[in-house]
Structure 1
């Protein structure tokens, strides 16, 4: 897949899956050589290679012969690929966690050729916790993201009406303060509701990230208590994923989907599209004139 980045040009991203059968590993290595030879652009190859490069990539009782390590390293060197450094936990696949026959391996990797590494010298790969799969996903960051802080506008949430202490909160904030004018009361009430809403309805991703951080800590341990806590938190995180989908499904008013995969991104995109369609971008005055600038529509008789 070709990707074009402004001011950097185009580069090729390839998702790779190596043959899991040992007798077909050479086929995987030759396929890797074919892919890199055919690419005329800066190339990045990411995926499950089903191969290890060193004995340290394995933690468990699965035996790997030296010819497997050497064959994979030789293929990578023949392709002139450089591995992008992985941050955090190094093992990307696990089996029978917490049991005597537990195995963890680094099967998933990300490589780039010299031209790609020159384009993105600060590239990093993260290994976040997976909620369901036995493989951890790989998150490739080509550049470090910039953080922009923007104050959110007040939005009233209908679900607040279902809270028992909502009315009391509004009454208290409305009567508080020395100034009893309407606008100061509204500002005071909206600010209090916003802060209260953040505490009562923490954004789903924040809670999910907290679970992920805890799982990152626990997967370093294999004692029974840690494994049990790991499984419990993992189940709770799955529940949050389902709640997040319901949240965005309600916002897009997409009631037609009752069951199925998590479609959070789909609902989020539809919610944004619906919000844009509800905005008034221009007005027609009835005389054939359209007004698009807000400064020009104050005189229109509505």
Structure 2
């Protein structure tokens, strides 16, 4: 998958100068010889454009994904979709192999530098401080901290919602060609870029990496660095005394439980058990 810089069908292009048929035929023949079939793309017909709003406006579907029969047997429920980007003439394509599960996280108060980019933050904190009754300084500080903690939760939720909202606007305007829609599309892309820069700063602080300047657009790098410690502490699977790998959470729990039951059993019971081998813990699959 990626940018193939070629088209499969005439419908993959809108704009001046139709794509040569011999190139499309050659592309299809190469796929057939390689026993590859295309992964359906959702979220938009085109992934590249140039000259939006001008007479030379061209849109093409250059980014695609293909797979062979063996791959399809492993990931029959995969989903490939277009994801709006703000700083490239190519839209990103995102491949989801299986349905993702989302778990709710508990929040712990930490001051985020990106809050300072919100115009209302300083005034909201100042109003909270001034409206608190006169009391011990520490009590006021704790009260303001609780206020900022709630403000931060609301901000983070709104932050994610802003990204979703802007991408929805871009998806709505992508196929429209009238002048007003073109202007609104360009405004929405610029606004999405600003929001993504805020997101970059947010993850940059959490990753505790300050040697890259703001604006490097390495959000995934910062996100990965911030979560690497959690991944290192995760047990992916256990190996029992027979050398069989156990990777289901319930089965791993039973394996650990049985091991410690044997360890702490009465002497006569422990003697009757032939094996007290501990399960091997593996944290990297």
Q: TM-score, normalised by structure 2?
A: 0.65
- Partner residue of 2:22? 67
- What is the SS of the residue equivalent to 1:127? strand
Check conservation: 1:48, 1:107, Cα contact below 8 A: yes
For structure 1, the 5+ residue unaligned runs are 1-45, 175-185, 278-302
Aligned counterpart in structure 2 of residue 163 of structure 1, from 107, 110, 122: 122
Check conservation: 1:62, 1:103, Cα contact below 8 A: no
> More helix by proportion, 1 or 2?
2
Pairwise CA distance, 1:55: 1.2
2:14 maps to 1:55: no
Q: TM-score, normalised by structure 1?
A: 0.62
- What is the SS of the residue equivalent to 1:221? coil
Aligned residues: 219
For structure 2, the 5+ residue unaligned runs are 134-141, 233-285
Structure 2 CA distance for aligned equivalents of residues 226 and 205 of structure 1? 24
- Partner residue of 1:107? 62
Structure 2 CA distance for aligned equivalents of residues 125 and 276 of structure 1? 26
Pairwise CA distance, 1:199: 3.5
1:5-64, CA deviations, whole angstroms, 9 ceiling, x for partnerless residues?
Answer: xxxxxxxxxxxxxxxxxxxxxxxxxxxxxxxxxxxxxxxxx1222222211111112222
Structure 2 CA distance for aligned equivalents of residues 276 and 115 of structure 1? 29
- What is the SS of the residue equivalent to 1:163? helix
CA spacing shift, 1:111–1:244, aligned 2, 3 Å: same
Pairwise CA distance, 1:239: 1.7
CA spacing shift, 1:203–1:165, aligned 2, 3 Å: closer
Check conservation: 2:51, 2:58, Cα contact below 8 A: yes
Structure 2 CA distance for aligned equivalents of residues 61 and 262 of structure 1? 33
Structure 2 CA distance for aligned equivalents of residues 172 and 90 of structure 1? 54
CA spacing shift, 1:60–1:273, aligned 2, 3 Å: closer
